[in-house]
Amino acid sequence: FRYDNIPEAPLVGAVLPPHREPELILARDLCRMLALELHAHEVYNYSFVPDRLLEAVGVAALPHSVVANPVAPEVCRMRRHVLPSVLQALGTALRSAPAVCLFEHGKGYHPEVRDADGLPHEVREVALAAAGGPGFDYPALRSGVAGVLRRSGFAVAFDELLGRSDELPWIHPGKTVAITLGATLCGYVGELHPQVAHQLELPRGVALANLDLRQLLRAGASACRFADLPRFPAQPVDVALLVPQGTRVKQCAELLRHAGGKLVRGVELFEVYRGEGLPAGTKSLNFTVTLGADDRTLTGKDEEKFLAKVRERASEVGAELRG
């Protein structure tokens, strides 16, 4: 039983590969790109939020998971979404900076839906809010978020955001669009509702966005495609179509692509307007159509021809070109 009587043998131990969490990997990559490309600053907030914030954004009446917090009983409800926390941080940041873009990666909790383990359903989100003028407004945030997602392999598009006013009362109904990947709703980007901005003592025109990481992963990324850099500048054209309320955004986007033919490089919805100045039962779908050619710089005549074709074909979807 002495040590020199024990036969020699190589040590054998199983080395398991490190666990990979797709949601965290995606969140890390998106946060890094948002910070780099949008000059955004990451913030960290508690998952439980004060009652006054829930009242300000209009969700105090919705069900919330409640935790015991004897130190601050008014801060005992868990947030349903990450964005209200970012809006609260934005108000603080604007006191010391004229323009700022903030984002946070975190979770929200929906107690009315239970997961397989019986716990409140969790949503994992990346939320953004920006204010301060050009470069920190809705058009800039819409373009920046779409660019980050597409460079990450997600071929997202913009669509009309329907049926979310009760769950998301802080969004501007006319200046918010859905971020979709195929038939999957993966988030939204738009402006803060003016009434909520007033309640939070924020300036008008605050831009905001929300990305649902689990929906992005469920829809799936595609392989990135590379192309030569364009030799000639693109020409953006804003197009407003007056359509019946039931008309889908996809129908109008296809109409615009067919009207522009090979010159169309992109079609993006940026506003859905309902209200004063429009006939009853109609809405205005406002698009930015990017035109371009590989062999020349486009002129005003090219834009006029494109708009003329849109006007000719608008009746195919029951639309009318405004302006």
pLDDT tens for 159-210 read 999 877 788 999 998 899 999 999 999 999 999 999 999 999 999 999 999 9
Query: Hunting for tokens 């924020």 — which residue is that?
Result: 202
| 6-65 pLDDT tens trace | 888 888 888 888 888 999 999 999 999 999 999 999 999 999 999 999 999 999 999 999
- Residue labelled with tokens 């907030």: 45
Q: What percent of the chain has pLDDT over 90?
A: 81
pLDDT surpassing 80 at residue 224? no
Are 125 and 213 spatial neighbours (Cβ–Cβ below 8 Å)?
yes
If you ran DSSP here, which 8-state letter would residue 280 be given?
A: T
Q: Which two tokens stand for residue 139?
A: 């058009």
- Residues 267 and 287: their CA atoms lie apart, in Å, by 7
Buried b (16+ CB within 10 A) or exposed e, 249-281: beebbebbeebbeebbeebbbbbbbeeeeeeee
For 4, 36, 128, the CA distances from 210, given in Å and listed in that order, are 67, 18, 6
| Sole residue written with tokens 């364009």 | 230
- Lowest mean pLDDT across 113-117, 185-189, 289-293: 113-117
The 10s digit of each residue's pLDDT in 231-279 is 999 999 999 999 999 999 999 999 999 999 999 999 999 999 988 889 9
E-strand ranges in the chain read 41-42, 48-49, 77-78, 100-114, 120-131, 157-160, 171-181, 184-192, 207-212, 235-244, 264-273, 282-291, 320-321
DSSP-derived 3-state class of residue 272: strand
Residue-range domains of the chain with CATH: 22-219 (3.30.930.10), 235-321 (3.30.70.380)
Q: Edge-to-edge strands of the sheet including 171-181?
A: 41-42, 100-114, 120-131, 207-212, 184-192, 171-181, 157-160
Q: Is the pLDDT of residue 4 over 90?
A: no
Radius of gyration of the CA atoms of the chain, in A: 24
| CA distances (Å), origin 69, targets 52, 84, 177 | 16, 20, 37
Q: Among residues 123, 146, 285, which one has the least CA distance to residue 209?
A: 146
Q: Which residues contact 182 (CB under 8 A, 6 or more apart)?
A: 219
Q: In terms of Cα–Cα distance, which of 234, 235, 205 is closest to 139? A: 205
pTM, two decimals, is: 0.86
Interatomic CA distance for residues 203 and 209, integer angstroms: 17
